[in-house]
């Protein structure tokens, strides 16, 4: 039995986690999700996951703590319902805001300048269909102005963009907040940076995209459930959207497992996502926005700090809030 077991670790993260843990506690890592691992019982009293693992309810009597190495914690909020309140649940609130914001801007620029088409056509030196859009004078709408959304708004001002924000908590004096209908009417680019709650699943649906006054670009670096693939596909086909970039996906754990194993699409939404992946006006990345050297180092340091704090004091430094968003 280990003291802590880390699921969903990619190679660079594993090296940093093991280095940070050192010889203080007994730890092990796997790149697999809990479901992929085949573990029928927990291999440690403390387990750590990312967003693709669901903690089996039957483990609740055997584990003491769960740490998600992510900013979002909706999956742990779901686990908390109906399970032992004595299980400590922690997350990492602020290790990757800059990295994710930069990825959002990277995806925005790649869509606007048709970068994926440019690279595909360079061997023929063909410029047909490559005319893109400049940022200056365009309006960017960020929906979900938390740490990540605020950073996106701050960064794009240097590109000459007008900026608007939508959030239930308008706490930043420098942000011009608007209603979602007004924001959709003004937007040339939309960035979804919301956390997932029971109130915003399918927030960006066909009805929402019909509020656009002109075709826009849509980027989601928040949660995949906020923008169902079938609705995105319909908006592209109806020319309400000029392009879509996604770093997050609905039912991501099952989707990732199916894509890794190259098995059949498990749902209509996953089938729509496969259709999106074949389009030239769509960019998909594997929930990788956080993944910079600096951010991964912070994640390892903060994860181990969380675990050592729990070992010493029986609680995490950053516990998931009691006002459950699930």
Got the DSSP string for 264-291? ---SHHHHHHHHHHT-TTEEE--S-TT-
- 36 and 154 inside one domain: no
Distances, alpha carbon 181 to alpha carbons 131, 141, 178, 187, 213, in Å: 29, 11, 8, 10, 10
- 35 and 109 inside one domain: no
Task: Round to whole Å and give the CA distance between 100 and 245.
Answer: 13
Task: Round to whole Å and give the CA distance between 28 and 20.
Answer: 12
Domain contains 325: no
Task: Round to whole Å and give the CA distance between 102 and 81.
Answer: 34
- State pTM to two decimals: 0.93
Task: Round to whole Å and give the CA distance between 318 and 43.
Answer: 23
- When the pLDDT of each residue in the chain is averaged and rounded to a whole number, the result is 94
Q: What is the pLDDT of residue 23?
A: 87
Residue from 99, 73, 109 nearest 88 by CA:
73
- 181 and 248 inside one domain: yes
The string of pLDDT tens digits covering residues 20-31 is: 999 899 999 999
- 131 and 276 inside one domain: yes
* Cα dihedral 297, 219, 323, 166 sign: positive
Q: What percent of the chain is helix, strand and coil (3-state, nearest 5)? A: 40, 15, 45
For residue 301, give its domain range: 2-95+293-313
- 24 and 172 inside one domain: no
The string of pLDDT tens digits covering residues 215-274 is: 999 999 999 999 999 999 999 999 999 999 999 999 898 888 888 887 765 678 888 999
């Amino acid at each position: 039995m280990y003291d802590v077991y880390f699921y969903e670790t990619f190679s660079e993260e594993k090296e940093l986690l093991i280095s940070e843990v050192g010889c203080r506690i007994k730890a092990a890592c796997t790149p697999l999700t809990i479901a992929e691992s085949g573990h029928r019982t927990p291999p440690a009293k403390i387990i750590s996951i990312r967003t693709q693992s669901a903690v089996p309810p039957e483990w609740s009597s055997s584990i003491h703590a769960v740490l998600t190495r992510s900013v979002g914690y909706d999956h742990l909020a779901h686990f908390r319902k109906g399970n032992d309140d004595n299980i400590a649940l922690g997350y990492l609130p602020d290790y990757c805001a800059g990295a994710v914001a930069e990825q959002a801007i990277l995806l925005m620029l790649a869509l606007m300048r048709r970068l994926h088409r440019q690279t595909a056509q360079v061997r023929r030196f063909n410029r047909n269909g490559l005319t893109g859009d400049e940022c200056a004078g365009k309006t960017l709408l960020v929906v979900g102005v938390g740490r990540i959304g605020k950073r996106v708004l701050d960064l794009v001002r240097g590109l000459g963009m007008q900026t608007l924000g939508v959030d239930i908590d308008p706490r930043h004096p420098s942000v011009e907040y608007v209603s979602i209908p007004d924001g959709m009417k003004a937007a040339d680019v939309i960035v979804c940076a919301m956390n997932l709650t029971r109130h915003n699943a399918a927030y960006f649906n066909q009805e929402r995209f019909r509020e656009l006054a002109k075709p826009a670009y849509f980027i989601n670096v928040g949660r995949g459930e906020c923008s169902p693939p079938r609705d995105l596909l319909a908006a592209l086909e109806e020319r309400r959207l000029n392009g879509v970039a996604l770093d997050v996906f609905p039912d991501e754990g099952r989707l990732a497992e199916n894509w890794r194993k190259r098995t059949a699409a498990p749902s209509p939404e996953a089938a729509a996502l496969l259709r999106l992946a074949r389009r030239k006006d769509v960019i998909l990345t594997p929930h990788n926005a956080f993944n910079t050297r600096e951010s991964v180092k912070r994640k390892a340091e903060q994860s181990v700090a969380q675990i050592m704090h729990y070992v010493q004091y029986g609680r995490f430094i950053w516990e998931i809030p009691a006002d459950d968003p699930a």
